[in-house]
Each structure stands twice: as C-alpha cells, then as structure tokens.
Amino acid sequence: MRHRYSILFTTLLLTFKNFGQDTIVIFKKEVAEKASAKNLEIKIAGLEYRLARSDYRQSNAVFLPGISASYTAISTTNPLMAFGSKLNQEILTASDFDPRRLNNPDNTQNFAVKVEILQPLLNMDGLFARKAAKSKMEAYELQTTRTQEYLELESGKAYMELQLAYKAVSVLEKALVTAQSNLALIENYYNQGLLQKTDLLAAMVREYEIKNQLQYAKSNLLNASGHLAFLMNEDINGKVFKPAEEAGTTIVPAYDRVITIDNRKDILAMSKSGEAYKRMWQSSRMGVMPRLNAFVNYELYDDKLFQADANGYTVGLQLSWNVFDGYKLLGKMEKAKAEMEKAEVEKQQYTAKSLLEIDKVKCLLKDTENKVNLSVLALEQSKEAYRIRSNRFAQGLEKAADLLTGESLMLQKELEMLLAIYEYNFTQQYLEFLTR
C-alpha cells in the first residue's frame, strides 16, 4: 500500500515539475494583441485590402497625365523616310528635290527624341470605374476590421478552452485522490473480510477510469495550447501555455437590449460591395459616351547620335467614341447589371441569416444560463449525497457500489458545471460579436 502511494506521489511530482518547466503564463489581453498583430488570417485580409487599394490608385489615371519618352535611331534608303528625316532635321537643300535623289536617296541617318503627354479631360466610364474601385477598397477595409473582431472572438474562445482544460485537469486530479482514498478504504475493509472482491475490483476499475479521463484531459490541454499558439502564429517549441486568469465558477447574466446590425462591419462591407457593382454598371453604360483627351508631342531630331539641332511640337485635342463594337458593350452592361442585382439579393439573404442567427443565439443564451443554474444545483446535491454515503459507508451502512456511484456522479456534475459555464460565457461573447 505504502509502495503504491509512493509511486503515485513521485509520478504527480514529476508531472507538476514538467509542467512548471514547460509552461508559459499568458494573459487574455496578451493573446488578443498577439493574434491581432501576427495571425495569418489577419495578414491575408490586410493583403486583400492592399490589392483593392492598388486598384483604386491605378484609377488616378482618369485625372493624371500620362507621360512617355522614347529615343529612336534609324538608317534608311526608303525615299519617303529619307526625305522626311531630313525635313525633320531641318537640313533639306534645293538639291534634295532632284527627282533622282528623291527616288534613289543615299543612306540617311536619323536620331529622334520624342516626349508625349496625354491628358484625359473627359472620361465618364473611367470616373465611375474609379468610384467602383474606391467602394471595393472600402469594402475590404471594413471586412478586414470584421476579421479582426472575429479573431478577437476566436482568441477569447481559445483562451477560455485553455482555462477549461486546466480546470478539468485540476478537478480530475482531485477526483483521482478521492478515488484512491476510497480504494484504500475498500481494500482495508476487504482485507478485514468485510467486503467482497467484486467491491475491490470495482474500486480499482474506478481508479483506472479517472486516470484515463485525466490523461485525456491533459491531451486536451495540449491541444488547446496548440490552438492558441496557432492563432498567435507562434512556435512554442514543445511548451504549453497556462492562462494567468483562472476560469470563473460563476456567470454574469446578460441584459436584454435592442438588437441592430445596420452598423456591423460585414453588413457595411456588403453594402459597399453592392455599391461597387452599381458603379461598374454605370461605368459600362457610360462606355457609349465620347472621350476627350488633350495631347502634346515634343520631338528632337539630328543626323548624329545624342545631338538635337532640330525640334518641333504638336498640340491638339482628340474626341473619340466607340460607335459599335459588335454587341460587346451591351453584353458588358447586361452582365454588370446582373452582378449588381445579385449583390443586392446576397446582402438581403445575408442580413436575414444574421438576424436568424441572433435569434437562435439569444435562445441558446437563455438555455445555457438555465443549464448553469441547474448544474450548480446538481453539483451541490451530488456533493451532499456523496458526503452522506461516505459517512454511511464508513459506518458500514452503505454499499461500496453506491459509494463509487456517488463519487462518479459528483465528478460528472462538476465537469458538467464547468462546461456549462464555458458554454454560457462563449455564447454571451458570440452574441456580442453578432451585434457588434
């Protein structure tokens, strides 16, 4: 008997020692901050926003001029190119008009620098496309904020799961001590001939069951710690997290309040997305409108490399429009309108589902609150029942099977109470998230 307790004490001591060496204490606020800064999902959402922002910045071309420059060097005997090159170089002479030289010119060198500026003045489809890009960018910005809010909920849930895992391990360790105490008592009575061997075997089985449950609880603890590390995008190198705050054993009932989701970030994001589709539809409609651009060309010419003795410029306006493109523009308009209507219907559907989800969670919150209250009452009653049975068993007035049943029921009710409190607290936070 003493040998068995010595082994148990040594095992527990080593377990606690290992946990102490490999444990990283962490606060709930710290988890939220690290997850918000390092989580991969947040980084992906941020990159999607940057992509949308780059599209919006590209639309600056609707207002800003386009400037291009080129340097061209040619050598030609083409009559037209040779005559034009000399004309641009301002080196034509009377002899160059000789028909024989015009028809059969010598090899002519031409080096040209060209700077071209194109300034949009009126581009209606581009203006609406720019507005669409801005709405899309704002939608991704709102969606990124919503992702951060969801991650805050998820990290809070993971932290509570870790708290619950540690609490379950603590409860099961205490239950193991109780089970071993009962086993020792039953073994003593068995040695005195007061109990049958079946009672002793039942007590031993009960001890094995709790040990098995404790092992599973420790595995759940490691899994919860790993999930927390994943959310924070951290490599804990075989260590485990330990919450600085313990899980609460009471709840704070929620109060009824007016539910509104009009300002929820994901709903606003869908509105912005629908607005973007509407702007794209308007942009496609404006495709039939003419475009007005101003342009300036400045050119430098010479027959020698990197010199420019002659120059000239061209300034003008260009009004152009697409009269008919084989039904391409009309098809584009039809598609844009269908996408706009689809976005509106999807928003209506998403809003309806969100309101339905809120109603379900509100009912679930009441159910879990009732479950917590009943589990607390059941735990108190099971503790009292076990105390009475334990006293009666010590007096020889209770069966060993009844004692083990009472012990099992007490452990079950305590674990159920902890789980009910966790479910209530998470449901409350989830409702806040849905109405945030």
Domain boundaries, the chain: 23-434
- Cβ 222 vs Cβ 240: under 8 Å: yes
Query: Average pLDDT, whole number, for the chain?
Result: 90
Beta bridge partners of 294: 119, 317
Return the percentage of the chain with pLDDT > 70, whole number: 95
Check whether 7 has a pLDDT greater than 90.
no
Pairwise CA distance, residues 347 & 352, whole Å? 8
396: left (phi over 0), alpha (psi -120 to 50) or beta: left
* Environment class of 282 (CB within 10 Å of its CB; exposed 0-12, middle 13-18, buried 19+): buried
Tokens of 201: 């075997």
Point out the least confidently predicted range of 148-152, 323-327, 346-350. 323-327
Pairwise CA distance, residues 276 & 280, whole Å? 6
Pairwise CA distance, residues 226 & 247, whole Å? 19
307: left (phi over 0), alpha (psi -120 to 50) or beta: beta
Which residue shows structure tokens 């080196």?
91
CA-atom Rg of the chain in angstroms: 40
- Cβ 108 vs Cβ 77: under 8 Å: yes
Which H, E and C letters describe the chain, residue by residue?
CHHHHHHHHHHHHHHHHHHHHCEEEECHHHHHHHHHHHCHHHHHHHHHHHHHHHHHHHHHHHCCCEEEEEEEEEEECCHHHHHHHHHHHCCCCHHHHCHHHHHCCCCEEEEEEEEEEEEEEECHHHHHHHHHHHHHHHHHHHHHHHHHHHHHHHHHHHHHHHHHHHHHHHHHHHHHHHHHHHHHHHHHHHHCCCCCHHHHHHHHHHHHHHHHHHHHHHHHHHHHHHHHHHHHCCCCCCCEEEECCCCCCCCCCCCCCCCCCCCCHHHHHHHHHHHHHHHHHHHHHHHHCCEEEEEEEEEEEECCCCCCCEEEEEEEEEEECCCCCCCHHHHHHHHHHHHHHHHHHHHHHHHHHHHHHHHHHHHHHHHHHHHHHHHHHHHHHHHHHHHHHHHHHHCCCCCHHHHHHHHHHHHHHHHHHHHHHHHHHHHHHHHHHHCC
The confidence score (pLDDT) of residue 425 equals 94
Pairwise CA distance, residues 418 & 410, whole Å? 13
Check whether 255 has a pLDDT greater than 90.
no
Pairwise CA distance, residues 75 & 303, whole Å? 10
Pairwise CA distance, residues 55 & 62, whole Å? 13
pLDDT digits (tens, 9 = 90+) for 85-144: 989 988 888 888 888 888 999 899 999 999 999 999 999 999 999 999 999 999 999 999
Task: Give CA separation, 158 vs 28, 91, 225, in Å.
Answer: 10, 82, 8
The confidence score (pLDDT) of residue 187 equals 92
Nearest one of 244, 174, 231, 248 to 33, comparing CA atoms: 231
pLDDT digits (tens, 9 = 90+) for 25-68: 999 999 999 999 999 999 999 999 999 999 999 999 999 999 99
Domain 23-434, CATH: 1.20.1600.10
Which residue shows structure tokens 């980084």?
43
Tell me what the mean pLDDT of segment 259-277 comes to: 92
The confidence score (pLDDT) of residue 205 equals 94
The confidence score (pLDDT) of residue 307 equals 83
Q: At how many degrees (to 10) do helices 40-58 and 28-38 cross? A: 40
Beta-strand pair 108-122/66-76: antiparallel
Tell me what the mean pLDDT of segment 374-390 comes to: 94
Beta bridge partners of 314: 297
Point out the least confidently predicted range of 86-90, 151-155, 208-212. 86-90
Check whether 20 has a pLDDT greater than 80.
no
Check whether 374 has a pLDDT greater than 90.
yes
The confidence score (pLDDT) of residue 16 equals 44
- Cβ 173 vs Cβ 167: under 8 Å: no
- Cβ 110 vs Cβ 73: under 8 Å: yes
